[in-house]
Structure 1
Amino acid sequence: MNQLKTHHISHTGEGDFKCDVCDKTFFTKSRLKKHHVIHTGERNFKCEVCQKTFNQKSNLSTHSKIHTGEKKFKCDVCSKTFSMKASLKIHHVIHTGERNFKCEVCLKTFNQKSSLTAHSKIHTGERSCKCDVCGKKFFTNTHLKRHYVIHTGERNFKCEVCLKTFKLKSSLTAHAKIHTKERKFKCVVCIKTFFTKAHLETHHVIHTRERNFKCDVCLKTFSLKSNLTTHYKIHTREKSFKCSICLKEFYNKSYLATHSIIHTGEKNFKCEICFKSFYSKSGLRKHYLIHTGERNYKCDVCLKTFTLKSILTAHSRIHTGERNFKF
């Protein structure tokens, strides 16, 4: 295809080559061919180092740089380096703040077209990426890949400081900030800072009190989807995570991790004010309220405030007369 024709269809958005499976159109036959392997599942390109397979040669080339450590593309703002020019381009919008891709349904904006495409499936309900192990479906291939490591147990991303390994690169990136002490995400309400945007968003519901996730069994509402997922297992009686030492079972992995410390005796979370150490991060957070004096949970009846939600719940029974505990 000549350059003029290729340029012209970038304006019309019309592709002459249509996929016979999903009807998606492409500008060139080569792009259609690359796309088609999504449906066939072919992975003919294998990494000679770790034996991982890929459906495109370009993906193998990109992956290989993980082993060679080659990162020749440098950001001219923060000097961060990347193995691909495309990755540098995606990274650069962090500095420019550009969000040129808008959802036509909810008007939310994104800095990448791929992010908009993934987001749009929330509105359409389309979950076209299916796990071949458990059959669970996902909006994007990225989400499917993240899920898949649950089955494979792969932990290919290692922290160079403490040698802890992770299943996802994003988890390693978030973890690394513990060592650098970098907390660039600040809450506009209470000025508290966080290592990642996800942690900030999770924290923010404390202030908004939004509870958009409802259990369809008991109608209890939650501020986070993860909390609803964990809660739902109470109804299904599903306890998928077992302690290898005492065989006790738990609803989610974090509960198991917290429990396991009982056996190891580790107390890795230390208060920066009084240096008291705790088994879990949640335990440290609860303790920290002693120093800050925060009392974010208010009784709707008598307006008394409390540091913890659990204390408010217990207090509320004074007004309702509810007695859930037998002695």
Structure 2
Amino acid sequence: MEVNISKKGPVIEAGLCRCCGLVKRCRLLNVEYIWCGEKEVYADMFLDSFGLCLSHLDGEPAERAICATCVSRLRDACAFRRQVLQCEQKLLQAQLASDDALIKQELDIKIEADDDICDSLPEAMDHTDHYDDNIPLDVKVDTWKAEVKETKRRSKRNKASDTRAKKEMLVKIKKMKDELKQLENDDMDLMPPQMPPAVRPWKSNSAKAFHNTITLVVNSYVCPFVTTFSDYHCVYCKELYTDPDKLREHTLTHDPTTYQDTVTYKKSLLIDITRIDCRLCPKPIDDLEEFYSHITSFHDKMLYPNIKNEFLKFRLKLGNLSCLECGNIFTYFHALKKHMAEHFGTWICDICGAHFFEEGKLIIHQKSHQPQKTEDTYPCKDCGRVFKSKHGRYYHISRVHSEQPAYPCYKCDEVLFSHSLRYRHMIEVHGEQRTFPCEHCDKVYDTRKSLREHNRKNHLKVLKHECNVCEKKFYLPSALKDHMASHTGERNFRCEYCGKSYPRMRALRVHVQSHDSEKKYKCAICSASYTQSNNLKHHIRAKHQSVMLDQLE
């Protein structure tokens, strides 16, 4: 069973859900996950909402799995429980206010009754018709006083009883308030975004922005995506595309309602708004503000108003990309995304004013303002080899010592040792088409880096390495080094088969082909064949030049 570890928590690619009995992509019941920026443990949510204490939570992952559908239903149950508690609190508060008014009214009546008794005592004593004339007057007065005292005692007992009941109710309400407050702090954002504002009191603008973005993706044809450097990936299945049109076409095959389960809350979301049209009706829409107005007016969808910077907006296309905020043009998406931080980045360097989306990148940037120290080195603890970066040391350890590759393929079980090896694996094994044509000539490359090097060398003529003898310039320092051999006469590259020496490694490689028994380069006119392409070209010019001229005429 394959268990993948992500920033959100472990995921079982094909697990048996404990709640619905279906084999799906599952999570673990007793492991802490992050959803909408809050922590959740599904086993605890079952206990809180239903009083169910699930068994076998300490066994294998296959015995404690729950699918995304059941997680969504569990979140709804938690939200419903919270709604009931809120309504119960309102009911108790209303009942308490009613009881307070009734108690006050009864106390006023009893106080008036006591005053009436005291006022009527002399008159009652004068009218002795109710008493036997044989009873002495002092006995009659004592009897009246005893009755008044008993009345006052009953009033005090009733008042004490009412006060005690009131205190008990206040304690009960306070306890319920504390429980509601604890629930709001623990899992406020577990409530589904579809709930109205009266039931869903969002805590922050970022949560409101996240809800608005989910509503946009679910109800329109915008294309959410993720990137690595300047490559576009499907946000749902991580399929790679270099052509934005193919990315948009592929994204339409996925269910947009699963978008909120695939993205990270409080992280910069990337949305291609080339097409915005409404999914719920055939109305064509080109503007986001028009879509927001349409979706709330005609389809009764709830959106939070006055929320800015919900996501980063792009219009992806082949070739140069433009910033939708200021119109600046960029050759690569990586450069455009970095530029977008100037508009929306919330982490700002207090020294130079540079903007960043993440605090970690700001910290790395701030180190550039610190005094230069001696170059840090990172030695391997196992063999002592020294590296210039942590990444180089990690790559060395994972490949040489631990033999544990760390770059999994998105389409198979293969795990590679580096990003470049995975890149090559996706092309050679899975047939991913990664072609980058040059805009200035007919050259085509399979990596963006190769295309960039080609442009800098052949079209932009970025030749920084100059020969101090003849002033000839070169793109690479290795090319300058080879060139210097023409001035010094050095021939340091020797053939191991025949002993011939050459000033450049490239010339030696071409020569070594002559020792190959297989003659790959065959003449299309006669039966001659050669081991080197240069020899074949020389043969055609020398032997078949007249034939070529006749064909041209």
Instruction: Tell me the TM-score normalized by structure 2.
Output: 0.27
Instruction: Write 1 or 2 for the structure with the bigger share of helix.
Output: 2
Q: Which has the larger radius of gyration?
A: 2
Instruction: Tell me the TM-score normalized by structure 1.
Output: 0.42
